[in-house]
Structure 1
Amino acid sequence: MSNQGPDSLAEARHTMRVREAACAARAGSREKKRAALLMRMRGVAAVALACASLVGCASSTDVVESGKPGTYTVAASATGGRMAWARAHELAMNEARDYCERRGMQSSVSTETVSGVRVMTEHESSLRFECHPRF
């Protein structure tokens, strides 16, 4: 056993208390950081969910040959948000372009009919187009 006086023992106890307090402070700081990170992650998830609900969905029909030879029609629809009409238009245009490109040609839209203008309703775009040789 060592010969330590009462001052040394009191100093050792004080050092242990200081170390325990520092350890508890670090643990509390980690918990605060973890809570803040969790709150940020929840916020990001909420924003992503809100954006996804505004985007909605879009779909298109198959390209169909119309009554006039060399003329085709395709329709697309989209729901959700203020820009649903733009998504429907873009999807219909892409379908027409892809259809003609698969045949080595380019598309030429002759008419487009658009319906639906109110927010959160189904918006539709119907195209009548032709495929022409590339120059």
Structure 2
Amino acid sequence: MFNTVSGRKREDAATSGVPSGRSPLSRRARGAVAAIVACASLVGCASSSDVVATGKPNTYAVAASATGGRLAWARAHEQAMNQARDYCERRGMQTSVTMETVSGVQTMTEHGSSMNFECHPKF
């Protein structure tokens, strides 16, 4: 079909592989890509401090923080727990959390978890 405005011959939908008037990505696919990008930007990451000894015997402290999304506190808690667990397991012991303090409640702010824990022999 000939386009009188541009003076070009319009490709037939059967020969181009793309339906006329549509881009290669459908609206649904573009929406899915946009949603994935938005979710990925909210995921954020978590980081933690080194485990340090406290004044009590066999009692240690670790802190972790995370940003992005409503559940950043959960990622901070998990990161701190993993650090504590790894620390005790390297010594052939198990972890017992004695105190945890969490901070940050608003979306898109830094959330934190500070915990004290002890390492006990495995039973």
Q: 1:105 aligns with which of 93, 99, 106?
A: 93
Residues 86-105 of structure 1: matches in 2 within 5 Å? 86-105=74-93
2:62 counterpart residue number: 74
Aligned residue identity for 1:82: R
Count the aligned residue pairs.
Answer: 112
Aligned residue identity for 2:18: E
Deviates more, 1:45-54 or 1:91-100: 45-54
Q: Is residue 46 from structure 1 mapped to residue 6 from structure 2 by the alignment?
A: no
RMSD: 2.2
What runs of 5+ residues in structure 2 fail to find an aligned partner? 1-10
1:31 counterpart residue number: 18
| Higher helix content, 1 or 2 | 1
**What is the CA–CA distance in structure 1 between the aligned matches of 2:70 and 2:60, rounded to whole Å?**
29
Check 1:72–1:25 CA distance in 2 against 1; reply closer, same or farther (3 A cut): closer
* Structure 1 residue 54 displacement after superposition: 1.3
**What is the CA–CA distance in structure 1 between the aligned matches of 2:13 and 2:113, rounded to whole Å?**
62
Q: 1:124 aligns with which of 94, 112, 117?
A: 112
**What is the CA–CA distance in structure 2 between the aligned matches of 1:47 and 1:53, rounded to whole Å?**
10
Structure index of larger Rg = 1
1:5 counterpart residue number: none
* Structure 1 residue 38 displacement after superposition: 6.2
TM-score, normalised with respect to structure 1: 0.73
TM-score, normalised with respect to structure 2: 0.80
SS of 2:105's equivalent in the other structure is: coil
